[in-house]
Each structure stands twice: as structure tokens, then as C-alpha cells.
Amino acid sequence: MLKASGKSNGQTGTEILLEAMSKDKVHLARFVLDALDGEIVDSRTESAQTPLISSVLLPDGGTRSACACACLCTNGPAFHVSFGLCSVLLSGVLLALSVVLAEQEGENLSGLSNNPDKAIFAVRENSTTCLMVEFAVKFLVPYDVLALNGIDLITEQASFILPRNAEIEGKCGSTESEIHISWKNNAYTLRIYFSKEFRDKGIEVWKISRVQFVYDTSETSHFINAYNPGKHTASTHLLSALVTPAGHSYLCTAQQTLTLISSDHQKGVTVSMYDIQIQPFDIASDFMFSEPYKCITDQRERLEETLPLVLGLILALIIVITLTVYHFHLKLTANQPQLPRDRSMYKNM
């Protein structure tokens, strides 16, 4: 899921590490080092500093020791540092930072994905991840422009994707959670709301209960010559999407499309998500999804892929059985006396 990547529209893994260190987020720094198998320990910034050197220059003593220790542990064979000692030091610093981390905070992990279109966002609460999304999102937004006659209005379509460098906010709860993703100085904000409920036979599931998208048609990078530009809000109504058993993450490579109704003359805004993995509740390990629940679309596609192979095997088996039966039939009939076909031979019998 989380792999190293080169330079993209968002941050690289090295940039995420350095930002985490500068903001005293030791938990995130340690995770990035683990996720990238230590391959960025020797990478350098524009000022030719490695993560280890950057950690030594941090102003806070506790964070400086923990981040330096994390870098040394990851590159342990070169420095011969005890991993157990590093773990003890890290645990002590994390305990000291627990008051700061008790508040909810958003983390942008998009630089750890090798897919330039995919974003990875996490919301943390009480020193652990409580909500995590990984997906690529495409928006199709209709808007009005003035026709050439200067009187009539025509509808154009703005098409754009969710950028990897967006800002994250979120709220976690036992039965309701939400994530807010904003970019372009809040010209665009995608809000996704999740809820838990009990279905038939007492089965607990979670789902997306509402999606809201705020966009500003005065933002000219996507909305060109928009008529009467301004902010609009598009929302869903009575939504029940991505229904997943509690304790599992939702996994789907196929495209999932939602239609939102906009305050701009009831226009339909299309939000398409693909390469999805989402979990808003019951995350057992920090920054890691729980056991995935695959969407029906992926299951059907996999069945369609394997069905021709299964049918081919069945057909081959039928042919083998038919040939085997025919072979034994020839053997049985070969030893039986043959009746003469020439009637004149009957006289000699």
C-alpha cells in the first residue's frame, strides 16, 4: 500500500519525514522510515542535509534525540545502534508528547504512494490513527458561461482531480466520523461523513452517509469565464455508499461514482473515486488499514476473469473422460467374435 515514490505533485517521502521531524511528530517520522524501509535515510535536502543531520539540528532536545535515534535504528547496521534502546527512547518521547497528540490532527501521507494520482490522508486522535483514506478522486463540475451573443447561457464542464498536497482536518467518534480535504486556499473542500449502524441479524457496518463538495467558480484554473462566479455547495441526500462490515477497511479498484446536487441551479456534480481503501473506524494499527473487505464490483470482475479458465478446464475434463470411455469401449469390443457380413458364409457355419 505505502511505497516510496519520486517527485510528484505532492510531497516526497523525504519531505514528509523532514516536516514531521520539524513539527515534533515523532510517531509520523518513525512510520515514514519504517514504510520506506529506511531507503531515505541517506537522501539529502536542497541544503545537502540528511534526515539524521536534520534531526540533530532540531531545537527540542527530546524530539532531537528521538528522531536521531529513529534514523540510526533504521540505518542500524552502519551505526551499530541497539534497536531496543531506540525503542525505549522513542517510547519515552511519545509519552512526553501525549498531551500534544491528544488533539485530533490530519496527516498527508500522499508522498508515500507511487501512484501520482492517489492521495493518502489520515486523521489521528489520542496518539493513534482513527480514520484513513487512500484514493484517487476526479470531479466533473458543470458551470455557466455567457454565449457569444452575450445573452444566452451555455453549460461547460470543469474536470479536475483531487491534488496530493491538500490540507486535512477530521473528527473521529464511536459511531460518526468525518474528514475534510481542502486545497487552493479553501477554494475547494471535499467533506466525507461516515456513520455506523446495525443491519439485519445484528450485523454492524459502517458506510458513507453524506458527501459535500464546496467549490468556487471564481477560481480560474478550472473555471474559465464563469458567469456570475462565486462559491457553491454540492451535496448528496440519503446516501448509503461503500457499506462495509465493522472492523474492516473498504477496498475497491473499480470506479465508484457519486452524483451531488449543487446549489448552482441544481446542477449535478459528479465525484468519481477509484483505487480506494478507506477505514473510518476501529483501526487496530497506527497508519495501517485493517483486513480489507473487497467491493462487489471487484469480486464480479475477478469472477469474470476466472470464469473462462474454469469453463475451459471443465471442457478439457469432459474431452478427457469421453476419450477414455471410447478407448475402453474399443478394447472391450475388440475381443468379441465378429459376425460375417457376406451371407454366403452362413452356409459354412
| Model confidence pLDDT, tens digit, residues 236-273 | 988 999 999 999 999 999 999 999 999 999 999 999 99
63 in Cβ contact with 70 (< 8 Å): no
Residue 109 and residue 64 share a domain: no
Domain boundary (64, 79, 101) is at: 101
Residue 155 and residue 83 share a domain: no
- Give the closest residue to 164 by CA, choosing from 122, 120, 129: 120
Residue with cell 455506523: 196
d(CA 259, CA 8): 29
Expressed as residue numbers, the domain containing 51 is 13-101
Q: Cβ neighbours of residue 293 under 8 Å, at least 6 residues apart?
A: 244, 245, 248, 249, 250, 251
Domain boundary (101, 124, 158) is at: 101
pLDDT for the residue 152: 92
Percent of the chain at pLDDT above 70? 64
Residue pLDDT, tens place only, 291-337: 999 998 766 555 555 656 767 778 788 888 887 887 776 777 766 66
Residue pLDDT, tens place only, 183-202: 999 999 999 999 999 988 88
Helices (runs of H) and strands (runs of E) counted in the chain: 8, 14
d(CA 165, CA 163): 6
- Per-residue confidence at 99, pLDDT binned at 50, 70, 90? very low
d(CA 73, CA 52): 11
pLDDT for the residue 328: 77
Which residue type sits at 27?
H
pLDDT for the residue 15: 73
pLDDT for the residue 25: 72
Residue pLDDT, tens place only, 39-94: 555 565 555 555 554 554 555 555 555 555 555 555 544 444 444 445 444 454 44
**pLDDT above 50 for 4:** no
Residue with cell 528522531: 67
Q: What are phi and psi of 50, to 5 degrees?
A: -85, 165
Percent of the chain at pLDDT above 90? 47
Residue 204 and residue 274 share a domain: yes
Buried b (16+ CB within 10 A) or exposed e, 292-304: ebebeeeeeeeee
d(CA 207, CA 241): 6
Residue 202's CB is within 10 A of a number of other CB atoms, namely 6
d(CA 33, CA 41): 8
Q: Is residue 310 part of a domain?
A: no
d(CA 346, CA 247): 86
pLDDT for the residue 29: 73
pLDDT for the residue 82: 47
- CATH of residue 200: 2.40.160.110
Q: Is residue 85 part of a domain?
A: yes
Specify the pTM: 0.67
Q: Which of 319 and 8 is assigned the larger pLDDT? A: 319
Q: Is residue 189 part of a domain?
A: yes
Residue 239 and residue 189 share a domain: yes
pLDDT for the residue 8: 41
Question: What total of structural domains would you count in the chain?
Answer: 2
Q: Is residue 94 part of a domain?
A: yes
